[in-house]
């Protein structure tokens, strides 16, 4: 199922990428961290407040305690180097488990060589199990629609694909390649 989850992951980015990728800029001197609505949603911060700017600590405090020091150090190191930064960390949610995110940023320095702005993006990382569950759910919906439309052959192929989610693990001995399984199911 790895291939289908990769395709679905690309689909999510193509269809919803702008909605799920949060953009930020931090005015280092004034310590005002500005974020768009997508980033505010990821960090569970009021979007109107985030657009007007909040202290960086408002956002850092939403990072999982086990990840916070590492994330802060990475930001600090990027300020000193002026280079790009890429890191993964978890955002604590008020309800439910933390969200894994991937952040990309860069610090910009002014004419005097001091840090002035830090800008970047943050995007949630979907685990493969979540992607598989989403793909399975889409297959179930398509199966239902095909059944209701009298498309028995399509419904049978979708039923087989759904069953594959329940019976084949990625590491199952003797399992066919995911590409082969899916290709063979949807060809006559």
Q: pLDDT averaged over consecutive 10-residue blocks of the chain (188 residues)? A: 40 50 92 93 95 96 97 93 90 91 92 92 76 70 80 78 64 39 38
Which domains, and CATH codes, for the chain?
16-125 (3.30.450.20), 129-186 (no CATH)
Measured between alpha carbons, how far is residue 158 from residues 20, 106, 121, 123, 143 in Å? 29, 45, 37, 31, 6
The pLDDT, as a whole number, for residue 19 is 53
Tokens 């949603």 correspond to what residue? 41
Model pTM score: 0.60
Pick from 26, 116, 30: which is nearest to 72 by CA? 26
Structure tokens belonging to residue 156: 């049978």
Helices (H) and strands (E) in the chain, counts: 8, 5
The pLDDT, as a whole number, for residue 88 is 92
Q: Sign (positive/negative) of CA torsion 46, 47, 48, 51?
A: positive
Alpha-carbon distance of 183 to 177, in angstroms, equals: 10
3-class DSSP state of 170: coil
The pLDDT, as a whole number, for residue 177 is 39
Alpha-carbon distance of 121 to 106, in angstroms, equals: 10
Alpha-carbon distance of 139 to 8, in angstroms, equals: 12
Tokens 């990728």 correspond to what residue? 21
The pLDDT, as a whole number, for residue 77 is 93
Helix axes 128-148, 2-20, angle to 10 degrees: 100
Pick from 57, 73, 67, 59: which is nearest to 22 by CA? 59
- Contact between 92 and 98 (Cβ < 8 Å): yes
């Amino acid at each position: 199922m790895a291939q289908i989850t990769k395709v679905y992951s690309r689909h999510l980015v193509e269809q919803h990428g702008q909605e799920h990728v949060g953009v930020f800029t931090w005015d280092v001197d004034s310590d005002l961290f500005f974020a768009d609505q997508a980033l505010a949603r990821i960090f569970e911060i009021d979007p109107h407040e985030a657009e007007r700017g909040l202290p960086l600590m408002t956002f850092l405090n939403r990072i999982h305690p086990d990840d916070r020091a590492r994330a802060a150090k990475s930001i600090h190191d990027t300020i000193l180097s002026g280079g790009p930064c890429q890191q993964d960390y978890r955002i604590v949610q008020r309800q439910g488990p933390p969200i894994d995110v991937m952040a990309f940023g860069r610090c910009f320095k002014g004419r005097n060589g001091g840090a002035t702005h830090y800008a970047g993006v943050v995007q949630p990382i979907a685990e493969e199990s979540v992607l598989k569950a989403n793909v399975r759910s889409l297959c179930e919906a398509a199966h239902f629609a095909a059944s209701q439309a009298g498309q028995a052959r399509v419904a049978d192929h979708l039923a087989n694909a759904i069953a594959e989610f329940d019976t084949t693990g990625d590491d199952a001995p003797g399992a066919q390649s995911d590409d082969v399984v899916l290709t063979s199911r949807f060809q006559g």
